[in-house]
Amino acid sequence: MTAELHGQNRRKFLANAGFAAMALAAGGCAGGRAKVGGTGAMSAFAAPPLARVRVGVVGVGSRGTYALKRLAFMPGVEIAAFCDVSEAAMKRSREFLAQKKFRPAREFLGPEAYRDLCQWDGVDVVYACVPWKLHAPVALAAMRADKHAFVEVPATMDVDSCWELVETSEATRRHCMMLENCCYGENEMLALNMCRLGVLGETVYGEAGYLHSGKTRGFKLSEFRAEWYREHRGNYYPTHGLGPVAQYMNINRGDRFDYLNSMESTSIGDLIRAGDTRWNGENLETYKKYLIGGYNSSLIRTVNGKVILLNLSCPVPHPYSRINTIQGTHGVFMDYPLRIDVEDTPGSGPHEKRDPEFNERFDRARTAAYREKYRHPLWKQVGELAKKAGGHGGMDFLMDMRWVYCLQNGLPLDMDVYDLAAWSCLCEITEKSQARRGAPVEIPDFTRGAWKTMKPLGIVTIDLAKMDFSNVGAAGPQQTIGHSKEG
Ligand SMILES: NC(=O)c1ccc[n+]([C@@H]2O[C@H](COP(=O)([O-])OP(=O)(O)OC[C@H]3O[C@@H](n4cnc5c(N)ncnc54)[C@H](O)[C@@H]3O)[C@@H](O)[C@H]2O)c1
């Protein structure tokens, strides 16, 4: 895509969606445009090795505190700085570092203090765990100050700031990675390994989602989430389920998202009936104001003709699930609960009709056998350590371990800024499509054609001799799957 066309697409998006105010708040397309670095310039990008990785954590609330504790014990990492607007949050991190006998970190307090942290030459990496609308401003400030940017999910909520992050990463030659921990889940990496080995055949269809609302009903939501629910519709949390499925399908690396249709059920606020005491009393007034629907369902089609179902459920009760399904021409992988089956010979596969009792035993045994046979080499290497370290079943630890290892050894990261943009931009695109009765909305090609030649993510491992894991587990308890408050 030419720079001119690309500019037209950006303007069209802004004019259509009324997202201009948000885009401006996120670092803005209207002024200070970054220089475009070139198509796919950050694909397989590797920065010079960093023997010691000095991290500045911005936002030490719930997620940021867990991250700070995890990273403090990661081999070769130093928590050099942290930042928040809350003195209580700062105190918690300060006391943790002192109690565990780490060197005191430099502190940055205040709503704009992240800019000073980014400018400070004592950090190499800025790790952002702030409210959603701040992700992009922090990442942009970090890259413009020559620091690598790592941002929580979703990296940003609108198309324009996705472009801004892509262009800034290309222009500054700094990594910009979204911290999509679910790509490191044990089952997700199992599925990825099976796809890489071609066990399922060619992938044709995937299902992804974030269904995590039963728990949320009982809690008072943090204000940035409640504010989003009041002001928006669409899938505001697409990346946990979609990231892994996009990797199975080599999105941005041989294929790319083309367009989607999205539909959403009635706003939560309109569903609350007077006198229905089953809505949580404490949160009733908050829920009444929600514009967000109880359920959003989207269908994505890729340029190579594959289809992905992407679901999100908001505050309606549902057991925790990221769905995590991948259908191939010769087999299927379905998660929550895990079921895997592959055709040994044509016609012998899971499509055969069997009586339910036999089917269940058959599935369990075969699933267990596939699980054992195709466990991802990274999980074979460090899976037990990851489980001991914790963090959503160990995937938080594995994610951090991998990017730290890559930075230390001058390797490309597993996820790049194009992944960040393609996965995160769906917040705006789903919102736009559902507002137009599910009409198809194009998904931008953030690689500007480079997806045709970019190489798929391989089977990544680490050299155990290069990382000393003797302190694993010393950080203390970490978040658990489906039991964290919101995320
Ligand atoms: N990957 C995961 O599994 C996962 C899990 C939970 C949350 N998250 C993500 O992490 C992010 C934070 O979520 P959370 O639950 O920790 O929220 P939180 O409200 O607990 O924490 C946010 C922190 O940011 C601070 N903050 C606000 N404005 C700031 C500013 N201008 N400068 C510096 N700090 C500022 C707040 O004071 C707070 O301490 C969100 O993007 C969320 O989606 C990801």
Span 402-423, average pLDDT: 98
pLDDT band at 285 (very low <50, low <70, confident <90, very high): confident
Percent of the chain whose predicted confidence (pLDDT) is above 90: 72
Instruction: Please name each of the domains of the chain with its CATH number.
Output: 1-30+42-179 (3.40.50.720), 183-389 (3.30.360.10)
Cα–Cα dist 437/155, whole Å: 26
Residue 72: which of 87, 56, 85 has the closest Cα? 56
129, 242, 424, 480: residue to mutate for ligand 1 pocket, most atoms within 8 A of CB? 129
Q: How many CB atoms lie within 10 A of CB 355?
A: 7
Alpha carbon of 319 to ligand 1 centroid (Å)? 24
pLDDT beyond 70 at 168 = yes
Report, in this order, helix, strand and coil percent for the chain, each rounded to 5: 40, 15, 45
- Element of type H or E holding 307: strand 307-313
Alpha carbon of 344 to ligand 1 centroid (Å)? 47
Note the pLDDT of residue 38: 59
Cα–Cα dist 313/280, whole Å: 17
Span 233-250, average pLDDT: 98
Contact 48, 117 (CB under 8 A): no
Alpha carbon of 56 to ligand 1 centroid (Å)? 14
Residue 133: which of 215, 12, 223, 33 has the closest Cα? 223
> Which pair of tokens denotes residue 116?
């000073």
Note the pLDDT of residue 280: 63
449: left (phi over 0), alpha (psi -120 to 50) or beta: left
Question: What's at 215, amino acid-wise?
Answer: K
Alpha carbon of 305 to ligand 1 centroid (Å)? 37
pLDDT beyond 90 at 203 = yes
Note the pLDDT of residue 355: 64
- Element of type H or E holding 300: strand 295-302
pLDDT band at 282 (very low <50, low <70, confident <90, very high): low
Nearest CA owner, ligand 1 atom 10: 129
Contact 388, 398 (CB under 8 A): no
Q: How many CA atoms lie within 13 Å of 399's alpha carbon, on the beta-carbon side?
A: 27
pLDDT beyond 60 at 452 = yes
Alpha carbon of 67 to ligand 1 centroid (Å)? 11
- Each residue's pLDDT tens digit, 354-376: 666 666 666 788 899 999 999 99
Which amino acids bring their CB within 6 angstroms of ligand 1?
58-64, 83-86, 89, 111, 114, 129-132, 134, 152-153, 179, 181, 222, 392, 484, 486-487
Q: Kindly report which listed range (156-160, 218-222, 374-378, 404-408) carries the lowest average pLDDT score.
A: 218-222
pLDDT beyond 80 at 48 = yes
Nearest CA owner, ligand 1 atom 39: 61
Note the pLDDT of residue 345: 80
Alpha carbon of 237 to ligand 1 centroid (Å)? 14
pLDDT band at 12 (very low <50, low <70, confident <90, very high): very low
Percent of the chain whose predicted confidence (pLDDT) is above 70: 85
- Each residue's pLDDT tens digit, 51-100: 999 999 999 999 999 999 999 999 999 999 999 999 999 999 999 999 99
In the sheet with 176-178, reading across from the earlier edge strand, the strands are 106-109, 77-84, 53-58, 125-128, 148-151, 176-178
- Each residue's pLDDT tens digit, 127-160: 999 999 999 999 999 999 999 999 999 999 999 9
Note the pLDDT of residue 477: 76
Alpha carbon of 152 to ligand 1 centroid (Å)? 8
Q: Kindly report which listed range (130-134, 138-142, 259-263, 385-389) carries the lowest average pLDDT score.
A: 385-389
Mean pLDDT computed over every residue of the chain: 88
Note the pLDDT of residue 315: 74
Span 310-336, average pLDDT: 92
Cα–Cα dist 163/36, whole Å: 10
Nearest CA owner, ligand 1 atom 3: 487
pLDDT beyond 80 at 276 = no
- Each residue's pLDDT tens digit, 305-317: 999 999 999 778 8
Note the pLDDT of residue 432: 98
Nearest ligand 1 atom to alpha carbon 224: 19
Q: Kindly report which listed range (100-114, 281-295, 341-355) carries the lowest average pLDDT score.
A: 341-355
pLDDT band at 17 (very low <50, low <70, confident <90, very high): very low
pLDDT beyond 60 at 24 = no
pLDDT band at 175 (very low <50, low <70, confident <90, very high): very high
Note the pLDDT of residue 457: 96
pLDDT beyond 90 at 399 = yes
Nearest CA owner, ligand 1 atom 2: 487
For every residue of 9-61, DSSP letters joined together read HHHHHHHHHT-HHHHHHTT-SSSSPPPP--TTTTTT--PPP-SSEEEEEE--S
Q: Where are the alpha helices (DSSP H) in 100-185?
A: 113-119, 132-144, 159-172
Note the pLDDT of residue 314: 76
Span 368-397, average pLDDT: 92
Span 330-353, average pLDDT: 83
